[in-house]
Structure 1
Amino acid sequence: MEISPNIQAFVFHFGEMGSRWGFNRTVGQMYALLVVNESPLSANDLASALNISRGNVSMGLKELQSWRLVQVSHIPGDRKEYYRVTGSIWDMANTIFEERKKREVDPTLSLLRTNLLVSANNPQEEYAQQKMQEIHDLLEMLTQWAGELQRLSPENLSALMKLGAGVSKMLSVKEQLFPSQTKAQGNDFER
């Protein structure tokens, strides 16, 4: 399978980004190629387009399925399995976030909760627990906020994201108009 230089550049870049998002370069390239192809691709198509072994493709497809990013489909009269991306680009972003949360944030929150249940035995442990509590509270707040964002429709989420700069300006004006109130709310987070 031949791919254009433009698509190849995107696929290779996506592979590099994939390694930062929690899966290896080859898996990222495979996913990118599936994203930009309108029709499903077989494992052989992926192997030839990316010049990688069938074994590597097979392992990559299993990983993408474990992330719930691809699904298998069949073409009548053809015994091969074909793969396509699951859902829209917004679905992809939500799925990657959910999987990263499950693999990284949830275990951290669990460890923090366990450590915070233990009584501090000295000032050093007490200080450490205060910092762990702050980290816990921040992760909980971010997780709840992200959960709320995930419940929004793609259209509403897009509109909210476009408001970003406007919200920053509004918060800046609020700080100027109500400096003591803003400082008190900031202190609530520090507790």
Structure 2
Amino acid sequence: MKMTPLHQEFVLHFGEMGSRWGINRTVGQIYALLFLSSAPLNADQITEALGISRSNTSMGLKELQSWGLVLRKHLPGDRKEHFTTPDDLWLIVRTLIEERKKREIDPTLSKLRELEMQGPGGDDYAEARIAELREMIEMMTEFYDDMARLETEKLVRLMTYGSRLAGLIDKVGGYLPSTKS
């Protein structure tokens, strides 16, 4: 596959962003290449297009498959495995968010709960801040879980109502649980 300047810039950006998101730069580049490819690619094509080692390609593909972000595709008459990304952008975004939650939010929430279970440690202020942070993360996690259960069509509709929902919340504000400021 010959990459155009558009491909190259997108792939390089995803590689850079991947390292900021906690994944290997090469994994981000493999994903970006497959995302932009109109046809499934085999490992040799990926290796050649990105100028990376075959072992890096294999490891990156395995990681992306484990997340459900890359799918295997067999092409008739070709013995090589080919790879592609899901067509549904919402599925991709939901998968990425869920993986970030598992890697970042869930362990933090577990640690905060563990710290609270240890009992009084002699610093009332720190204990109160930990409890407040845990409560906020639990509330956000419950909201995320509710949104994750919504069908994509309903979620999109909900998101398009953004400012109208904020106005509605202002109107019924007295009926909502108060938050500490």
Q: Is 1:20 matched up with 2:20? A: yes
CA deviations on 1:82-116 (whole Å, 9 max, x unpaired) are 11113511111111111111111111111111111
Code of the residue aligned with 1:152 in structure 2: it is: L
CA drift of 1:139 comes to 0.9
Change (3 A) 1:121 1:154: closer
Question: Alignment length, in residue pairs?
Answer: 181
CA drift of 1:135 comes to 1.0
Code of the residue aligned with 2:117 in structure 1: it is: L
CA RMSD of aligned residues (A): 2.2
CA drift of 1:78 comes to 2.2
Q: As a proportion of its length, which structure holds more helix?
A: 1
Matching residue of 1:31: 31
User: What is the CA–CA distance in structure 2 between the aligned matches of 1:59 and 1:113, rounded to whole Å?
Assistant: 35
Q: Structure 1 unaligned segments of length 5 or more: list them.
A: none
Matching residue of 1:190: 180
CA drift of 1:25 comes to 2.0
User: What is the CA–CA distance in structure 2 between the aligned matches of 1:148 and 1:35, rounded to whole Å?
Assistant: 28
Code of the residue aligned with 1:33 in structure 2: it is: L
Q: Structure 2 unaligned segments of length 5 or more: list them.
A: none
User: What is the CA–CA distance in structure 1 between the aligned matches of 2:135 and 2:88, rounded to whole Å?
Assistant: 32
Change (3 A) 1:168 1:59: same
Runs of 4+ in 1 over 6 A off after TM superposition: none
Matching residue of 2:75: 75
Matching residue of 2:99: 99
Matching residue of 1:157: 155
Code of the residue aligned with 2:52 in structure 1: it is: I
Q: Is 1:131 matched up with 2:121? A: no
TM (norm. structure 1) is 0.84
TM (norm. structure 2) is 0.88
Code of the residue aligned with 1:39 in structure 2: it is: A
Matches within 5 A, 1:42-53: 42-53=42-53
CA drift of 1:164 comes to 1.5
CA drift of 1:170 comes to 3.7
Matching residue of 1:90: 90
- Give % identity: 46
User: What is the CA–CA distance in structure 1 between the aligned matches of 2:87 and 2:94, rounded to whole Å?
Assistant: 10
User: Which residue among 168, 171, 175 is the counterpart of 1:174?
Assistant: 171
Code of the residue aligned with 1:116 in structure 2: it is: E
User: What is the CA–CA distance in structure 2 between the aligned matches of 1:164 and 1:20, rounded to whole Å?
Assistant: 28
CA drift of 1:136 comes to 0.8
User: What is the CA–CA distance in structure 1 between the aligned matches of 2:159 and 2:77, rounded to whole Å?
Assistant: 45
